[in-house]
């Protein structure tokens, strides 16, 4: 039997009030302990770019836009985003987070925050927001029903033509949900929700990762297709813009630039065929002034190489003549370290003050045969999980050997018989990590 929403809300409020009192900036941004204001706000830079990109979809003058953040915390995102809106609201289950948000936003009169008792946002009228967003919130909620209620409220609150942009945990592996590691959602569940609730699904990226981003639009009243005929203008690699697309790996995605794409088109009724096989559409961009929209899709797997036909279908109907794309063989996997940080204070790069390291590695061919050592001493504990199947990317969380002195040390990682390029790390004096040690 699922837990009552009121009990979930009380657990969330209690736990997040405690985290806010302990170190709100740390638990919100997971970047480091005791961050100052500038460092805390800087941790939002990448997220802000993702959110602001979606504002191009809004149909009306920004001078009247109203926005809502679900799970605003202490106002880290609301403060910089307030410049885009005539009015911006934030809600959070934690009273203590709301207190901190009011303090941070005190000089922004059109920014308003309030604590909420549940996911039902009855204090807001239907169709009252142009833009609703949420980041690192649903992944902490231990109840699927509560998250679904927020999703239904999002639909109710959006104006016609309004846009939602939010992040869900899409990892296929999950622990027992609590108020830190909450429920996960699959791409199919997001597709089904938008389809069943009459929302246009325009973006579904980061599938099978912790940071699965999705964009929905509430269709405008009597929105209809243009009478002009669609056409494919050109095809490129979705990530490099080049005309060559590898057949697998992180860049095995095609970008189709389409003129006059039907207005009702979304990821639920769009199909991209490459050599007759269905690709996986992940993104439909806003319409440019010249009528062109960008559509991105992962290539079907497997796919042959060569000059292949590409077709675009909407609701099962081919909407324009096909074009051709050049698919070439991808190079061999080259295992490499992408980043090294403290396992708790993620802003500490190539260093640790807690005795733990978090290492991102791509293109491992033997992830379950990974061994790590520091100064030729095996690490105390090593955990590995796939965080993105596309590159593929793995996350290693490890505890350093006991008794290492402060200063530089030599980190070596092997994957089966292969040794990755060694790295230098620095051990710094620090404090023991908190009970929660993963983002």
Confidence tier at 178 by pLDDT (50, 70, 90): very high
The reply to whether 434 falls in a domain is: no
Per residue in 41-51, pLDDT (tens digit) is 999 999 999 99
Burial class (CB in 10 A: 0-12, 13-18, 19+), 29: buried
> Mind listing the pLDDT tens digit for each residue in 33-86?
888 899 899 999 999 999 999 999 998 777 899 999 999 999 999 999 999 999
Regarding whether 343 and 320 lie in a shared domain, the answer is: no
What is the pLDDT confidence band of residue 9, given thresholds at 50, 70 and 90? Answer: very high
pLDDT attached to residue 413: 96
pLDDT at 439 over 50: no
How much is the pTM? 0.93
One domain, residues 315 and 377: no
Q: What is the 3-state secondary structure (H, E, C) of 99-121?
A: HHHHHHCCCCCCEEEEECCCCCC
Q: Which two tokens stand for residue 284?
A: 């439909």
Q: Domain containing 417: what range?
A: 336-427
The count of structural domains within the chain is 3
Q: Which of 217, 244, 278 is the last residue of a domain?
A: 217
* 163 and 127 inside one domain: yes
The answer to whether position 222 is within a domain reads no
CATH number at residue 403: 2.60.40
Measured distance CA(53)–CA(66) in Å, rounded: 17
328, 356, 386: which is the final residue of a domain? 328
**438 located within any domain:** no
Please check whether residues 318 and 397 belong to one and the same domain: no
Mean pLDDT for the stretch of residues 198-213: 97
- Residue 207: CATH number of its domain: 3.40.50.150
Q: What is the pLDDT of residue 347?
A: 83
Asked whether residue 59 is assigned to any structural domain, the reply reads yes
Q: What is the pLDDT of residue 437?
A: 41
The reply to whether 279 and 303 lie within a common domain is yes
Same domain, 277 and 170: no
CA-based diameter of the chain, in Å? 72
Residues 6+ apart with CB under 8 A from 121: 91, 153, 157
Query: Same domain for 361 and 418?
Result: yes
Question: Which is it for the CA torsion 194, 167, 435, 9, positive or negative?
Answer: negative
CA distance 296 to 76: 30
């Amino acid at each position: 039997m699922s837990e009552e929403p009121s009990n979930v809300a009380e657990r969330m409020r209690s736990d997040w009030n405690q985290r806010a009192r302990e170190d709100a900036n740390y638990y919100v941004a997971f970047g480091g302990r005791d961050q100052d204001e500038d460092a805390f706000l800087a941790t939002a830079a990448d997220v802000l770019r993702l959110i602001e990109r979606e504002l191009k979809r809004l149909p009306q003058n920004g001078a009247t836009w109203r926005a809502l953040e679900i799970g605003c915390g202490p106002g880290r995102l609301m403060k910089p985003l307030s410049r885009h809106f005539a009015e911006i609201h934030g809600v959070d289950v934690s009273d203590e987070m709301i207190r901190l948000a009011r303090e941070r936003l005190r000089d922004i009169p059109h920014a308003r925050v309030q604590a909420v008792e549940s996911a039902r946002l009855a204090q807001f009228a239907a169709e009252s927001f142009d833009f609703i967003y949420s980041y690192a919130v649903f992944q902490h909620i231990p109840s699927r029903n509560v998250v679904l209620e927020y999703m239904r409220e999002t639909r109710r609150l959006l104006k016609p033509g309004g846009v939602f942009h939010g992040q869900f945990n899409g990892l296929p592996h999950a622990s027992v949900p609590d108020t830190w590691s909450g429920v996960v959602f699959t791409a199919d569940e997001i597709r089904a929700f938008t389809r069943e609730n009459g929302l246009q699904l325009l973006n579904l990226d980061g599938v099978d990762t912790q940071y699965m981003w999705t964009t929905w639009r509430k269709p405008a009243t009597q929105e209809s297709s243009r009478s002009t005929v669609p056409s494919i203008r050109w095809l490129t690699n979705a990530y490099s813009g080049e005309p060559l697309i590898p057949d697998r790996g992180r860049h095995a995605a095609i970008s189709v630039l389409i003129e006059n794409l039907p207005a009702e088109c979304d990821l639920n009724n769009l199909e991209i065929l490459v050599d007759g096989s269905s690709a996986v559409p992940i993104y439909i961009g806003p319409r440019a002034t010249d009528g062109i929209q960008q559509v991105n899709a992962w290539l079907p797997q497997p796919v042959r190489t060569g000059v292949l036909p590409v077709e675009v279908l909407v609701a099962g109907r081919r909407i324009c003549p096909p074009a051709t794309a050049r698919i070439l063989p991808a190079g061999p996997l080259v295992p490499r370290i992408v980043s090294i940080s403290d396992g708790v204070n993620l802003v500490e790069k190539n260093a640790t003050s807690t005795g733990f390291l978090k290492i991102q590695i791509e293109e491992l061919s033997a992830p379950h045969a990974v061994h790590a050592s520091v100064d030729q001493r095996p690490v105390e504990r090593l955990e590995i999980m796939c965080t993105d199947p596309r590159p593929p990317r793995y996350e290693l969380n490890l505890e350093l050997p006991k008794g290492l002195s402060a200063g530089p040390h030599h980190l070596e990682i092997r994957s089966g018989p292969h040794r990755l390029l060694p790295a230098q790390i620095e051990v710094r004096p620090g404090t023991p990590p908190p009970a929660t040690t993963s983002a």
